[in-house]
Structures are given as structure tokens and as C-alpha cells.
Structure 1
């Protein structure tokens, strides 16, 4: 007789989490750990402490509740090397395990932070961070080397921003280890390789080293001296775009420019095509205005030069001289006409006088005769010659014209006497 196998009943997530929690807490009733504090948070409302305990390779979440935190003799902070005693537990809502800290003692500063500060101080004393050695970035890069993981989100973010901001730039990606023990050496190698094209036709305008955010351990490759040396001696401008805005690594200080994030890096080093399109429109409008102004000014100058040319040209000079000659000719003709008219009048008068010359001579002879007669009758002359003029009725008469009993007047030009003729 065949029997059917009874299938396993599926567990709920909560049931599985409860089983794991029971197993963990039963197995790790007490743990004793040493490491460096990171991501420290003091919850002000509850008074609980939340942080991670880490070393060079791993980290684990920790919580210390308010009751245990009150007994601490120091204030926890990031970078401190501490020893904790506690128990392993699982936080069911998120399915994450964590250490419930019962005690926390300080064992000195964290080794990673100490290494970071020591290297930073050493490089700064050598002038690695000096602004005077920073190389300027070209405003319109044609070719950029991206040194990051090909599988990381940082690369996709940079490509996305570049495509929308300025798609005329060629991006060349170098697959680079950005996390782990070999990360520092690999970053330095790729920097040297990309920089080796400097001065050739295949040279890069900018080298970008970057990755997304993470813990200090995750970003440690960018804190190594080999990377700082590679950046310092590179001839190509280098931008460090590592982590988030609050993350600072050694490469940020040595690089020619530090970007808060990979996306922000592309916004900084690439021009905005929309802004430049607006600028080009403004420049074109200014050019049109300037060109119109220049053309108007040139047209005005040409008109002025043409006017000067016309004033100085032989044709216009000849035309003006001809016009003046014509005016002079007209004036001369008018003057000659007036002269001829005047001369004609004189000639006519003279001709008339010539025709009347015999009559004039006759009249002249008569006038001379009358003059002699008048002269003979001149009283002064008569006085001088003891003569008196005889007047009858106021008119001169001769003695022979007198008759007896005529009343006459005798005048010598001075005296007047009345007389009667007695007889002749």
C-alpha cells in the first residue's frame, strides 16, 4: 500500500527570524570584541547609543541602551579604539544582527584614523596640498579618463550627468579596484597609465578617480600614500570624486580639484550645454547688433568718401568749371549787350548831331550875333563908354525910332531918368 509524503509547511519570515534570533542569542550569550567606533549616533530622546565596531576588513552594528550608557566614564566618538562586552542579538524588524553592549572601555585611538591623520600631516608638510601646485582644468575638456569600477553605480551616475550636460566630451573608462587591499596600488597604476598619454594625440584633458560612498575601510584605498604620490607627480589635471559630501580622503587634498560626489564632479568639470546655448543666442544677438552698427557706420563713411570723391573728381571739377564758364559767358554777353546798347545810343546821338551840324552852325552864328548885340547893349559897357540906353514903354529903342512928344527913359545901368522928346 503506497503512502503519500507529507510536504513541509512553509515558514513565515517572522518565524524564521525568530528561530535565527533564538539560535544566535543562545549560542553567543557573551561576546568580547575590540575595534574602532564609526557611524556613532546618540539618540537624544531615548538616550541609547548606536554605532558600528570595525577593523580593516569588517564591521558589526552595536547598540548600548541608556541604562548601561550612564555608567560610561568617557564620551564615545568616531575613530576611538574600544573594547566592548555584550551579547549577540538579532533585530527582527530588519533581520540584522547586532551586539548589545553591556560595557564599553576605551583602548586608544582607532588605527585607521591615526594612519589617516599621520599621512595627511606628512604630505601637507611636503607641500602635496599646496594650492600653488594645483593645475587648472580646461573649460571644455574633449577627453576624460574615468578611473572607477565598471560595475559601480558611480560610473553610471557620471555617464548620465555627462550625457545631459555636455555630450561632446569623450569618456574613456578604466576598470579600477576601488575597495580592498589591492585598491591603492591599482588606483596608482591606472593614474600613471592614463597620465602616460600626456603630450600625445591620445592625451586626456582630465583624469577622474572616484567611487560611491562607504565606510573608512571601503574608501581606504584612496588614503594610501602610493595614490597620493601618483596624483602629485601626474602631469594631467586630476579630480578626486570619492564617497559622499561628508567623506574626505587623502586623494581629495592632493588632487587638483575635489568633488563631493561623482555626479557633482561631472557637473563641475563639464560646461552646461543649455547655458552655452543661451550664451550663443546672446552672442549672436550682440553680433547682429554690432554688425548692423558697423555696417551703418561703414555706409556713412562710404557716403562721406563718395561725397569727397565727387567733390574732387575731374568730371565734377570740369562740370563745375564748365558751369562757371557758362555763367561768365552769360555775364559777359549781358555786359557786352549793355555796352553795345550804350554805345549805340551814343552813336545815334552823335549821328543825329552830325546830321544837324549845318543847322547847329547856323544857330551858333546867330547866337554869336545876338551875343555881340547883347554885348553892345551891356549897361556896364555903355557906362564905360558914356552911353545910356533909351527905353520906351520899358523897351529899348533907337533914336531914329523916337517921335516928338514921346515919353522915354534913359538908363546908364546905374541911374534912370525920365524925359520927353520935344522935337526931332
Structure 2
């Protein structure tokens, strides 16, 4: 055993010997209370390292009921416990999960109850994309403050577009996917291509020029009615052209609805947020704005069935109305009966109203007479005479009104009787119809030899025309 190891073996028991044992070696360091030692270590860490940025892989990520997030950062050489408190977690743009590689900015500390070293995390960003991702977040916040991402400005896609525009690169695989999908779903629709590079330094300006050409065509020619902006997946740097502020602002001024399908389902660009609709892939973008032809044919068939059923319902209703009108026209006596019954009802109502009115006036007069009798006798007699005169006048007026109504009723009954075709026939006239049952009022509608039917007040005659005599013109 080396000398140092032997010395340690001798002094270790002595340092922790119970009181009353052998005296401690004067060369031994002083004994620390555990809490004081932990606090001293924590102070040394804070003074030496903080603030600190640590890169590693997230493991054992847990979110507590308090909202704090606890996880471990690890790499091949070690691991470090981390705590992301609720306020920092709510403000963090990165959703932590196991396996995610991040850079955590914070301060080292010691958790005294367990003596564990831990990192109190204040900010998190994805490892390897730090500066670019932070630029993305700054641009997103700036454009959101301008209202470009507001849900109120989003427009619905036309359910049946008349033409479709596509902005993408001629070499992009996304163009083939979109073309295949549109050819399958809406082969009858024209598709207008506005080519532009989708990656590189020149891509933002070229994409803006392609968008402007599409906008000009829509204003001048009315097409395309919906616009697709698509490209395949890639890294944040590959998709950076679709985060250009000028491109995002130009998309916000589109005169037609815009669908953006850039990257894969997990990729997001600022163009996605400003578009009227974000599609997870270019193929999905084409499907969203192009209803399948079979679905259109099915919808047309349903509309045809509904229109046919509605037309038959209208025809049936009109036929019923025509039958009712024909029944009313064919029986004038029924009309006369209804009018007579209506007049009788009005007469009864008038008599009942007059009787009620007379009764009310009589009761009112009795009340007034009673009140007047309580006053001075002379005034009572004078008012009694006046009431008598009013009663006589009222009776006379009521009788006159009833007589007038009876006269009107008599005149109405006379007019109704004059309208009765049977009364006309009874006065010596005859109703003449041709073989088809049409009433004849003009001799020019007959020819010699035509069969006629004559209806008299009592019985009918069958006759035939021998000679037609026409009245000379006046």
C-alpha cells in the first residue's frame, strides 16, 4: 500500500472518531457541517461558471403539476440534472421531449436537500440551429405584430375552383406530386405554372416575381382562382426562402386564396402562418384545393334528384290548385250559397252587436238616472226629460240603422238571384252548347249540320244547325 493510502487509512477513522476517543490529528482539516459544505460548493459554482450554456440530449423529461419541467441533459461523457421552471417553460419556443438535442442557457446550482448538482434553465434552443432558429422566432414575432397571421384575415378556399396556379421550381419533386394529384382529381381544370427557384440566395426575389405574375393574371384574366405555393422537405436553412419578410408580406396581399405546402408535416415556415390554408405536404395542398371528380359527379347526381323531386312537387301542387279552381268555377250555386251564408252571419252579428250596444246604453242610462235622482229634484226632472229624448233618438237611430241594413241585405239577395243561371233560363232563355260542351254565343262558330244541345228551364233538346244567319256589321 502506498504511503498516502496508508495515511488516509489511519486518519479516516480518527477524523470521525466519537467524542472521548483518541485526540484528533492537528493536521486534519476542520469538519464541515453538511449544509454548510453544500452551500459553499454552490457559492463556488455560481461564482466560477454562471451563466453557462450546455449542449446535450434531453432524457427523462417530466412536467410536474406545478408547471415546472424536469429533465436530464446527457452526452457520451456524462449527464446533468436540469430544471425549467414554469414561467420559463411557458415562454420557451421549444417543446421539450426525450431525444431532442438542445442548447440550454442557465445557471449551475446545488439542490441542497439531496446535494445534487443541477442546471436551472432559463432559455432553450435547438442545437445546431441556434442562430437561424432565433432569427426565425424574431421574424415571426415581428410579422405577427403586423397582423399578418391573424385568423380573421384568412379566406376560405373556393369549393369548386375554375383554375389552379402553382408556384414552385421546375426541378422540384413537389411539382410532379402536385401535377399527378391534380390530373387524377380534376383533369378538367386548367393549371397555370409560375416557376421560380425554391432554395438559394436568389429564391426569395424570384418567388416574389412569380407571385406577382400570378396576381396580375388573376386581376386581368380572372385566373387562377386559387394559388398553390409548394416545395419538398429540407432543413431550416433549405426552407429559409419561405421565411423572407418581403415574400410573407406579398403573400398577405394575394387577391386569391393561397395554400402553402412547404416541406413535410413537421416543417414550418413563416409562409405557412400567413397563408389562407397550410397543407402538411405538397400533395395534400393539391388535394385540399381540388375536389375529386367522382365526388363532383355524385354531388351533381344528388342535385339532379333534388331538382326533379322539387319539380314534381310543384307540378302536383299546381294540379291540385287547378282542380280546386275548376270545382269552384263549375258550381256557381255553391258560391251563391256561401255568400248567402256569409250575409246571414253578418246579419246575426249586426243584430247581436246592436242588441249589446242597446243593452249597454240602457244600463248606462239607468246608472245615470239613479245618480241624478240623488241630486236636486228639479235638476233630476230636467235631466230625466233629456234622457228620455236621448233614448227616443237612440231608438230611432237604431231602428233606422237596422232598416238600412235590411234594405242592403234585400238588394244583395236580389243581385244574387239575378246572377243565378237557372233564373235566367226560367225567363225563357236557353243555354246552347256545341258537341264538345262549349257554350255558344256566336253563330259564326257553327256550320250547317253541327250538332247542338239546348238546355231549357225544364229539360234538354238535341238539335242540328240547318242554316247560319249572321248579323250585318254595324
Task: Give the TM-score taking structure 2 as reference length.
Answer: 0.46
2: CA distance, partners of 1:202 / 1:119:
33
1:200 aligned counterpart, secondary structure? helix
- Equivalences for residues 141-220 of structure 1 within 5 A: 141-201=161-221, 203-220=223-240
CA distance in 1: counterparts of 2:224 and 2:460, whole angstroms? 85
Question: 1:274 Cα deviation (Å)?
Answer: 1.6
Q: Which structure is higher in helix share? A: 2
Which of the numbers 271, 276, 293 marks the counterpart of 2:291?
A: 271
Question: What is the alpha-carbon distance in structure 1 between the residues aligned to residue 127 and residue 324 of structure 2?
Answer: 93
After superposition, what is the alpha-carbon deviation per residue over 1:211-246, rounded to whole angstroms, capped at 9, x for unaligned?
011111111110111211211223232221101111
User: Are the aligned partners of 1:161 and 1:266 in contact in 2 as well (CA < 8 Å)?
Assistant: yes
User: Is the contact made by 2:169 and 2:196 (CA closer than 8 Å) also made in structure 1?
Assistant: yes
Question: Structure 1 residues 111-120 or 229-238, which shifts more?
Answer: 229-238
CA distance in 2, matches of 1:211, 1:108: 23
Q: Distance in 2 between matches of 1:186 and 1:160?
A: 25
Residues 296 and 107 (structure 1 numbering): CA distance in 2 closer, same or farther, change over 3 Å? closer
List, as ranges, runs of 4+ consecutive aligned residues in structure 1 with deviation greater than 3 Å. 40-44, 64-67, 69-82, 106-109, 303-319, 321-324
Partner deviation per Cα, 1:70-118 (whole Å, 9 max, x = no partner): 4798998456499xxxxxxxxxxxxxxxxxxxxxxx9997111011000
In 2, the alpha carbon distance for the partners of 1:295 and 1:287 equals: 12
Contact 1:79 1:109 in 2 (8 A): no
CA contact (8 A) 1:81 1:109 kept: no
Cα distance in 2 for partners of 1:231, 1:217 equals 20
SS at match of 1:197: helix
The CA distance in 2 between the partners of 1:107 and 1:269, in whole Å, is 37
Once the two structures are superposed, residues 343-392 of structure 1 have per-residue CA deviations (whole angstroms, 9 ceiling, x without a partner) of: xxxxxxxxxxxxxxxxxxxxxxxxxxxxxxxxxxxxxxxxxxxxxxxxxx
Shift of 1:327: 4.5
* Count of aligned pairs: 249
Q: How far did residue 296 of structure 1 move?
A: 2.2
Cα contact 2:101–2:127 (8 A) shared by 1: no
What is the match of residue 325 of structure 1? Answer: 457
Deviation at 1:133, TM superposition (A): 2.0
Change (3 A) 1:107 1:131: closer
- Higher RCO by CA contacts (8 Å cutoff, separation 6 or greater): 1
Cα displacement (A) at 1:294: 2.0
Alignment TM-score, normalising by the size of structure 1: 0.51
CA 1:318–1:176: 2 relative to 1, 3 Å: closer
Query: Is 1:127 aligned with 2:147?
Result: yes
On the 8 A contact 1:79/1:113 being kept in 2, the answer is: no
Alpha-carbon contact 2:217-2:224 (below 8 Å) kept: yes
User: Do the aligned partners of 2:178 and 2:286 also contact (CA within 8 Å) in 1?
Assistant: yes
Choose from 261, 267, 283 the match for 2:281.
Answer: 261
Secondary structure, counterpart of 2:77 in structure 1 = helix
1:298 aligns with 2:307: no
Distance 1:79 1:233 in 2: 37
Shift of 1:183: 1.5
Partner residue in 2 for 1:68: 77
| Higher alpha-carbon Rg | 1
For 1:233, the equivalent position in structure 2 comes to 253
Is residue 161–residue 263 contact of structure 1 (8 Å, CA) maintained in 2? yes
Q: For residues 306-347 of structure 1, what are the alpha-carbon distances to aligned partners after superposition, in whole Å with 9 as ceiling and x for unaligned?
A: 44444569757979x964612499xxxxxxxxxxxxxxxxxx
User: Is residue 232–residue 262 contact of structure 2 (8 Å, CA) maintained in 1?
Assistant: yes
Q: Report the CA distance between 1:265 and its aligned residue.
A: 0.8
When residues 79 and 258 of structure 1 are mapped into structure 2, their CA distance, relative to the original with a 3 A threshold, is farther
Unaligned segments of structure 1, at least 5 residues: 1-36, 45-63, 83-105, 330-424
Task: Measure the CA separation in 2 of the matches of 1:79 and 1:190.
Answer: 37
Preserved CA contact (<8 Å) 1:81 1:108: no
Partner SS for 1:208: strand
Shift of 1:125: 0.5
Task: Give secondary structure in 2 for the equivalent of 1:207.
Answer: strand
**C-alpha spacing 1:317/1:67, structure 2 compared with 1 (3 Å):** closer
**SS of aligned partner of 1:287:** helix
Taking the aligned partners of 1:252 and 1:131, their CA distance within structure 2 comes to 12
Superposed CA RMSD: 3.7
Assess, with a 3 A threshold, how the Cα gap between structure 1 residues 322 and 117 changes in structure 2: closer, same or farther: same
In the alignment, the residues of structure 2 paired with residue 317 and residue 196 of structure 1 have an alpha-carbon distance, to the nearest angstrom, of 70
Q: Which has the higher mean CA deviation after the structures are superposed, 130-139 or 204-213?
A: 130-139
The Cα shift of 1:253 comes to: 0.7
- 8 Å Cα contact 1:252/1:258 also seen in 2: yes
